Chain A
Amino acid sequence: MRNRLKVLRAERNWSQADLAEKLDVSRQSVNAIETGKYDPSLPLAFKIAAIFALPIEQIFSADEAAQAAE
């Protein structure tokens, strides 16, 4: 799964710690999600979408391998 968290965060001038505070998760968790090393659950993905005021599909997308398999 790919995501645009880093870009969206940079646009708002938020640090990983700022986003972690808004999501009520640890900074390490934000980093793991941002670098694609952990795919968030649906509730957390919805929470992220709500915080950025964007639809989920504008933040997360399937990676090339997953898309190719479809």
Chain B
Amino acid sequence: MSVLPTSQNKRRALVRNLMIVIGTAMLALTVAGRTMEIAVHWPLLALLLIFSALAILQFETLDEVAKQGQYVAWYWGSLLGIVVVLAIQLLFSFTGQPFSIVQDALTRWFGDADPMTSFLSGMMLTPVLMVVGFFVCWGVFWLRRR
């Protein structure tokens, strides 16, 4: 017997609320790890696994319009994020004004970082911009269907 409500709408709300709670806990742990310098890696990893499982469950509870919104937003949003990443990389291939303004700002920001931090920051930039693109396109999808 499933512990989830039988109504798809109630299941969707339950899973969404659980994801908000877990997501908030992950954010709080990350901030706590940074500010109080406590080891949060294992609890964070455990929460990430639970969050991932809930994400799969959440997709199953979406109705077909919401699923279409996810497909559209992931496709166009991810593409938008990747294009922005490529544009940033392209900016670094140009020299002189005005391109040096962006380059100088980023150099100031990451200038004294060790290679591993720079590498990890670079790795994080792509998915972060893809997720930003996702939310932009997801918002547009629903605004157009209001």
Contacts and interface: CB of A to CB of B under 8 A. Distances in A.
Given A40-B64, A41-B64, A28 B9 contact: no
A33 B142 CA distance: 12
Interface residues of A, number: 16
Q: Chain B at the A interface: mostly helix, strand, loop or mixed?
A: helix
Interface in B44-84: 63-66, 68
B104 to A, nearest CB: 45
A29 B62 CA distance: 10
A70 interface: no
Contact of A29 (B7, B66, B144): B66
A43 B145 CA distance: 21
A41 B8 CA distance: 17
Interface in B116-134: none
Residue picked from A26, A35, A37, A40, most chain B C-beta under 10 Å: A26
Interface of B: 7-9, 12, 63-66, 68, 142, 144-146
Interface of A: 20-21, 24-26, 28-29, 31-33, 35, 37-38, 40-41, 44
